[in-house]
Amino acid sequence: MDTNVKTVSVIGLGYVGLPTAAILASRGFDVIGVDVNEHAVRTINDGKVHIVEPDLDILVQASVTMGRLKATTEAQAADVFMLAVPTPFKDDKQPDLAYLEAATRSIAPVIKKGDMVILESTSPVGTTAAISSWLSEMRPDLAFPHQSKTPDVNLAHCPERILPGHVLRELVENDRIIGGITHECSEKAEAFYRTFVTGECILTNARTAELAKLVENSYRDVNIAFANELSVICDGLDIDVWELINLTNRHPRVNILQPGPGVGGHCIAVDPWFIVAQNPEDARLIRTAREVNDAKPHFVIDKVLAAADRFKAPKVACFGLTYKADIDDLRESPALDIVKLLSSKLDGEVIAVEPNISKLPASLENAGNISLMDSGDALDQADIAVFLVAHRQFKDIAPAALDSKVVIRTIKS
């Protein structure tokens, strides 16, 4: 372990911050987790978790029991501060850095000479430098990297690159891009990450690291948009898009992704807009891909409504609410949007089937015509079955159970 770092504070205890805090605690660091959500803080201090991620509950319980991890709502002194708070966009698709600025200002009173601040939140280019400026406004007694080549506090950006369902492994095994405001900042951050990361640590500057994460997700978004647009074209031509993709992918230099009901999650559905916001004239393909993927849920809704016309008071079972398979994460989920919009347009009942949650999310519970059921009850009642997420439980549904239903698949069966 880097003997210069004994205490780490992780600001934001969500899908990135809590697993990171638990991994660090398991490596022998004293970890202070900070979150404004009092329920999350109480849950963690009880040795439990408020999010679903394989084996995370075991690691958190062990870390709390050993006294290596504690959670609080107030920032406390530490040697390293890791910012892992949300960076959503506003209604006009402009980046919303309010959570990040609030987190930065919360740690300003407790930072000291020799500390390091690391931004893990995916952010627009220039955000790490902005954090340096925000901190300097509140702590004029300290020198920061945008002011001095020998700062009192080092700042770097190291974007997370984890896959839900595999977070604990990928936090350790994945390569990490580390971009400091200065080269010395990069080197100090690298020394810290090497205490728990077995993947390669690649050094660059903060601006390049910021854009690298945005580009990774924009690349995927563009390729998903091609698949989603292809699915719409195939629907109009009465061609099975999955058969078509399987055939074309036999070409040695073709690898088309699978279409779906849209694109969700806190990364791919959000990050490309950060590039578009800063480069509105040049990011034409990236913008178009976002528009294609954002339009796909409406295409699905139109398909369902057309099928519903044959029923007097149709019951539509929507299988899946999360943004991807086998997790409980609803952030930016196209499936969730489809169910919500469908309930407002359908002269009938919507049945939500989501095995990874125990109650309807707040955005659905007041709709009046949406109920949460298990697969069996939903299939007993539904006229139309719409498959939106490839949860493993849905793969066990016998084909005979769907014989009397109108089936609409937005995902590969």
Per-residue pLDDT of the chain (413 residues; tens, 9 = 90+): 445 899 999 999 999 999 999 999 999 999 999 999 999 999 999 999 998 899 999 999 999 999 999 999 999 999 999 999 999 999 999 999 999 999 999 999 999 999 999 999 999 999 999 999 999 999 999 999 999 989 999 999 999 988 888 999 999 999 999 999 999 999 999 999 999 999 999 999 999 999 999 999 999 999 999 999 999 999 999 999 999 999 999 999 999 999 999 999 888 999 999 999 999 999 999 999 999 999 999 999 999 999 999 999 999 999 999 999 988 889 899 999 999 999 999 999 999 999 999 999 999 988 889 999 999 999 999 999 999 999 999 999 999 999 999 999 999 97
The answer to whether the CB of 198 falls within 8 A of the CB of 173 is yes
C-alpha dist (Å) from residue 266 to 56, 95, 331: 20, 13, 6
89, 88, 114, 110: which is closest to 3 by C-alpha? 114
Same fold, 7-199 and 240-409: yes
Q: Can 112 be counted among the known catalytic residues?
A: no
Beta strands in 93-231 (DSSP E): 116-119, 154-157, 176-180, 201-205
Q: Can you give the pLDDT at residue 367? A: 87
| DSSP codes joined into one string, 105-130 | HHHGGG--TT-EEEE-S---TTHHHH
List beta partners, residue 352. Answer: 318, 372
* CA distance linking residue 26 with residue 169, whole number of Å: 13
- CATH number for domain 7-199, candidates 3.40.50.720, 3.10.110.10, 3.40.50.2300, 3.40.50.450: 3.40.50.720
Our measurement of the distance from residue 367's CA atom to the centroid of its chain's CA atoms, rounded to an integer in Å, reads 26
Q: Hey, what CATH topology would domain 240-409 get?
A: Rossmann fold (3.40.50)
Q: What is the DSSP letter of 8?
A: E
Candidate list 158, 188, 213, 318, residue with the active-site label:
213
* CA distance linking residue 373 with residue 370, whole number of Å: 10
Which residue reads 């069966």 in tokens? 413
* CA distance linking residue 268 with residue 159, whole number of Å: 14
The structural domains of the chain, with segments of one domain joined by +, span 7-199, 240-409
Q: What angle do CA 31, 35, 41 make, to 5 degrees?
A: 75
Q: What is the DSSP letter of 383?
A: S
Q: Strand, coil or helix: what is 145?
A: coil
* CA distance linking residue 224 with residue 289, whole number of Å: 8
Candidate list 158, 185, 267, 318, residue with the active-site label:
267
C-alpha dist (Å) from residue 402 to 239, 343, 373: 21, 22, 16
Q: What is the pTM of this model?
A: 0.92
The answer to whether the CB of 83 falls within 8 A of the CB of 131 is yes
* CA distance linking residue 160 with residue 91, whole number of Å: 25
Q: Can 405 be counted among the known catalytic residues?
A: no
Q: Strand, coil or helix: what is 329?
A: coil
